[in-house]
Amino acid sequence: MREVTEERMLWLLHSDTSSHHPQLTLVAIDGADASRAERTARTAFERTPAPRSWLESSPLVRRRLVGACRTVPTIELIHLADVEPAHLPEESFRLCLSQIAEEGPGGRFVVALTTVPQDTRATAAEAARGVLRDRIDGFASPEQWVGLRALAALTNVVCRETATVDLPDDEDLLAVYDRYTVGELTSASD
């Protein structure tokens, strides 16, 4: 396990291969801001637990979480969905991560990885080592970055549920990110 430093970013990767279209979400945090970001995110989710569904939660819950997460310092959010039905979940993860590595922020980083289903974590970690090679400085333990992992997981849900829905800014979790991309795996990644 490596520590996040000013020279190393924190990449929070949340993979969900349980749905019909596998999804991968990256939330990138500057190493210098990581501790503050974790405190802010943890406090937000202690006050208002993350809902299982963004659209089924009340507008009040959405507004509370958006307001509380606005001050979480992030570099970038990238969310990709793989709509190609022929890809196996492992292949989908690898292809999405390859595209994120090309499009995402450069530099070295520590990865905090969460997966749904949870038993795919070891396979995903192995694939991440293969794709990210010399850019990755290690993996955070599952107990680290709990608040930021919750933010990445909830962001994954929001991206999946709100792709075709317009929400007011004060209820749209994506509004907390200064820079974000939500899209599909490009066919060029094949």
Contact of 112 with 147, CB cutoff 8 Å = no
The proportion of the chain whose per-residue pLDDT surpasses 70, expressed as a percent, equals 96
Residues paired with 109 in a beta bridge: 9, 136
181 or 85, greater pLDDT: 181
Q: Write out pLDDT tens, residues 60-101.
A: 999 999 999 999 999 999 999 999 888 888 899 999 999 999
Q: What sign results for the dihedral spanned by CA atoms 64, 14, 120, 55? A: positive
The verdict on residue 149 lying in a domain is yes
Residue 126 domain-assigned (yes or no): yes
Q: Domain range holding 178?
A: 9-189
Confidence of residue 190 (pLDDT cuts 50, 70, 90): very low
Say what the pLDDT of residue 2 is.
59
Number of domains present in the structure of the chain? 1
Residue 43 lies in a domain: yes
Question: Above 70 in pLDDT, residue 189?
Answer: no
How many Å separate Cα 131 from the centre of its chain? 17
Question: Over the chain, what is the mean pLDDT?
Answer: 92
Q: Residue 99: inside a domain, yes or no?
A: yes
In a domain, 2, yes or no: no
Does some domain include residue 59? yes
Any domain includes 1? no
Read off the CATH number of the domain in which 91 is found.
3.30.420
- Rounded to 10°, the helix 59-69/34-47 angle is 160
In a domain, 4, yes or no: no
Tokens 């929400």: give the residue.
167
